[in-house]
């Protein structure tokens, strides 16, 4: 029995002596494996951040040459509000003369004339508007007309030697006048001679001044 026990102890000792420590090469391989594994983990972490940045929708770095080239090549990225064409300005209306406000008036230097006095007939053109007006006040447009009831006594156009235009600019509120001394005679169209004279002895006559299509109110005077 005792010999069997010794054998058992001797076997245990042999078994224990058969368990060997890893060699230095094994330690080196383990360390190399750990280093490689650590590097792989670091690579995955860094790669994960890079991929996350690539799909996060963040703009590329301004230092990236490719990103810079894309930005400069894209015309829309260089556009600015000032590059849009200015809208065409609406032309404003230019104020013009209102010819309806250009009026003609008639007057005489006296209300009544003696046997040896000739009436002085005056035609006056006034611009009653707020803008300057261009008006033809030449003899081609003027007419000094004297009537008595339905009787046409005298017209400056009947025996007018020549007809001329005279265009003037009349300022707002300003006037132009023309005078005609009437020699108390009768005329007819075509300037045919008329021997009859206008009546006197207190007869009343009407003087109307005309300028183109405009006619003045009547001016009444008396011949004695």
pLDDT averages per 10-residue partition of the chain, 224 residues: 44 45 64 63 50 41 41 45 57 77 98 97 98 97 97 97 94 97 97 93 97 97 97
pLDDT of residue 95: 75
CA distance 122 to 176: 10
CB 146 within 8 A of CB 216: no
pLDDT of residue 99: 95
At residue 106, what are phi and psi to the nearest 5 degrees?
Answer: -125, 145
How distant, in Å, are the alpha carbons of 138, 204, 210 from that of 177? 11, 24, 12
In sequence order, the 6+-apart residues with CB closer than 8 A to the CB of 13 are: none
**pTM for the full model?**
0.59
Separation of first and last alpha carbons in the chain: 192
CA proximity to 184, closest of 123, 121, 141, 129 = 121
CA proximity to 140, closest of 164, 161, 120 = 164
pLDDT of residue 76: 45
List of E strands, 1-160:
102-108, 112-113, 120-127, 133-136, 142-148, 151-155
How far from the centroid of its chain's Cα atoms is residue 173's Cα? 31
pLDDT of residue 194: 94
pLDDT of residue 50: 43
């Amino acid at each position: 029995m005792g010999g069997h026990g010794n054998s058992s102890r001797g076997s245990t000792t042999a078994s224990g002596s058969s368990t060997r420590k890893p060699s230095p090469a094994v330690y080196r391989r383990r360390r190399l494996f750990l280093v490689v594994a650590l590097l792989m983990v670091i690579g995955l972490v860094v790669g994960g951040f890079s991929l996350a940045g690539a799909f996060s929708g963040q703009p590329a770095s301004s230092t990236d040459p490719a990103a810079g080239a894309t930005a400069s090549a894209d015309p829309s990225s260089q556009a600015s509000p000032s590059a849009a064409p200015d809208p065409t300005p609406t032309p404003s209306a230019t104020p013009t003369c209102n010819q309806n406000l250009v009026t003609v008036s008639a007057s005489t230097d006296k209300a009544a004339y003696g046997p040896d006095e000739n009436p002085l007939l005056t035609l006056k053109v006034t611009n009653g508007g707020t803008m300057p007006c261009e008006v033809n006040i030449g003899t081609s447009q003027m007419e000094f007309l004297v009537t008595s009831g339905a009787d046409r006594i005298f017209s400056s156009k009947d025996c007018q030697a020549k007809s001329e235009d005279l265009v003037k600019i009349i300022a707002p509120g300003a006037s132009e006048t023309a005078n005609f001394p009437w020699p108390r005679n009768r005329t007819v169209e075509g300037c045919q001679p008329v021997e009859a004279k206008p009546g006197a002895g207190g007869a009343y006559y009407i003087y109307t001044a005309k300028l183109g299509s405009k006619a003045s109110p009547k001016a009444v005077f008396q011949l004695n």
